[in-house]
């Protein structure tokens, strides 16, 4: 199946990728929600109706340069070629993200649906465009994993944090008197919910129910960037601490204060960017009241920096059909240029390239997760799907090589599993995330055995 264009594919570590560079934060919004929805539907109509010139006329100057008529035509051909005939009946929903007005338009095709994210500037011009992961038609709904014994645990609602950034959460507690070991689940990039939902898949729910069935309490929570979309403050000051670390530290504190939890046996499990950030979370905890966690579980954690992975993943997706077109080659060159700007610290104030500001990239690039892991005196379990194209076996190998000789480390890789730790066959691609599945039983078994063995 031919992949969609580079910008139409899922992002590295679930990080959204805008096509254009949004050069400044919008002023107060003069257009109503209804007007923006109307503009988004009009744009979608031009895009899907063979009127690329009219669609381009709705863009701002930056977008016109980044996505001229020829690229729109190729994007539409790639969508229909991959997902079948278009079935007009677009649904919409509005959002405000990092100060920008956004309308999501759901485009339905014969075998899948795709959310098209249309970003508007103040005058109502299209300033950014992004396509989500296809949700494959007929791929089913979420079903609990067979290894989850739902009569062996109880779930209660709670709140992580206090004050401005309180986050709705779910505590999954094994039945019995305890005290139980406990795990905090830390999300990857993007505005994830507490289940880390991707299409019909809910890997964090699988982990919570599977581990609780084996006598381990689990806390999962809405990510701040989901619960407070558009309310996170100045994007230029947003860093990894605000995205992940601060809330994870609060989650650990909540678990340690919870009845039936053994406060000395609380673990942090990070997936993807959450795994990369786990050593930073542990260091913060170690420097404060309560001390470091009992151990870290790093699932699909990148050892290299995210900008490297963004380019690598984009190259992989472009070549899934066995060739890279001239347009894709040009897009890759543009992406490498944006990455170079971010790496050199040359993004303009207020700019949002690759979905984040210069402050965010500066913070990410200054953080050496491998060095941070070396400095910790806690057990660590590294887990990697060998079919993962977002964080690859190269990262897994770098962790092993860099931490060689350090005590209390365990490494597990799984030949059939993808980035979500769900089994599949052949080369992994974004469309498989739209097919319902569950985190593999062996992953849950290995985590439970490791936790109970410490």
Selecting among 189, 272, 357, 428, the annotated active-site residue is 272
Name the nearest CA neighbour of 267 among 299, 241, 302, 239.
299
Give catalytic status of residue 272 as yes or no: yes
Contacts of 280 (CB under 8 A, 6+ apart): 240, 245, 367, 369, 372
List C-alpha distances in Å: 222 to 188, 239, 295, 428: 12, 18, 22, 27
Contacts of 424 (CB under 8 A, 6+ apart): 387, 416, 417, 418, 432, 437
CA distance 273 to 309: 11
Is 312 buried (19+), middle (13-18) or exposed (0-12) by CB count in 10 A?
middle
CA dihedral over 177, 249, 374, 364, signed as positive or negative: positive
Selecting among 20, 206, 419, 428, the annotated active-site residue is 419
Quote the strand ranges of 375-431, DSSP E. 380-385, 409-414
Selecting among 187, 388, 395, 428, the annotated active-site residue is 388
CA distance 269 to 300: 11
Give the residue numbers marked as catalytic: 272, 388, 419
């Amino acid at each position: 199946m031919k992949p969609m264009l580079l910008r139409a594919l899922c992002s590295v570590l679930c990080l959204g990728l805008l096509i254009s560079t949004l050069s400044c934060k919008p002023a107060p919004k003069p257009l109503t929600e209804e007007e923006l929805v109307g503009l988004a539907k009009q744009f979608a109509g031009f895009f899907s109706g063979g009127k690329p010139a009219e669609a381009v006329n709705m863009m701002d100057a930056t977008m016109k340069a980044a996505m001229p008529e020829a690229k729109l035509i190729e994007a539409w051909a790639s969508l229909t070629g991959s997902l079948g005939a278009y079935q007009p009946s677009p649904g919409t929903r509005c959002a405000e993200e990092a100060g920008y007005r956004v309308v999501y338009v759901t485009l339905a095709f014969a075998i899948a649906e795709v959310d098209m994210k249309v970003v508007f500037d103040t005058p109502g011009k299209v300033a950014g465009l992004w396509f989500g992961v296809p949700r494959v038609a007929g791929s089913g709904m979420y079903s609990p994993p067979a290894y989850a014994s739902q009569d062996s645990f109880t779930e209660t609602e709670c709140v992580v944090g206090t004050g401005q950034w309180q986050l709705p959460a779910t505590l999954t507690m094994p039945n019995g008197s305890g005290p139980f070991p406990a795990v905090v689940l830390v999300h990857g990039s993007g505005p994830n919910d507490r289940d880390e939902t991707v299409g019909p898949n809910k890997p964090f729910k699988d982990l919570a129910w599977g581990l609780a069935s084996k006598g381990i309490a689990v806390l999962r929570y809405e990510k701040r960037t989901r619960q407070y979309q558009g309310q996170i403050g100045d994007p230029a000051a947003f860093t990894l601490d605000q995205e992940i670390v601060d809330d994870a530290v609060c989650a650990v504190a909540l678990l340690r204060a919870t009845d039936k939890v053994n406060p000395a046996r609380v673990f942090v499990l990070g997936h993807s960017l959450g795994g990369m950030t786990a050593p930073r979370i542990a260091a913060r905890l170690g420097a404060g009241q309560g001390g470091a966690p009992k151990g870290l579980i790093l699932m699909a954690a990148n050892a290299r920096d995210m900008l490297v992975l963004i380019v690598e993943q984009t190259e992989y997706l472009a070549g899934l059909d066995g060739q890279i077109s001239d347009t894709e080659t040009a897009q890759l060159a543009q992406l490498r240029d944006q990455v170079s700007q971010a790496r050199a610290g040359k993004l303009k104030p207020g700019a949002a390239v690759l979905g984040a500001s210069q402050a965010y990239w500066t913070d990410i690039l200054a953080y050496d997760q491998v060095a941070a892991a070396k400095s910790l005196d806690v057990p660590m379990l590294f887990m990697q799907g060998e079919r993962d194209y977002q964080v690859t076996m190269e990262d897994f190998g770098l962790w092993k090589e860099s931490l060689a000789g350090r005590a209390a480390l365990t490494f597990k890789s799984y030949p059939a599993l993808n980035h979500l730790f769900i089994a599949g066959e052949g080369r992994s691609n974004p469309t498989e995330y739209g097919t319902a599945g569950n985190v593999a039983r062996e992953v849950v078994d290995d985590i439970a055995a490791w936790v109970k063995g410490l």
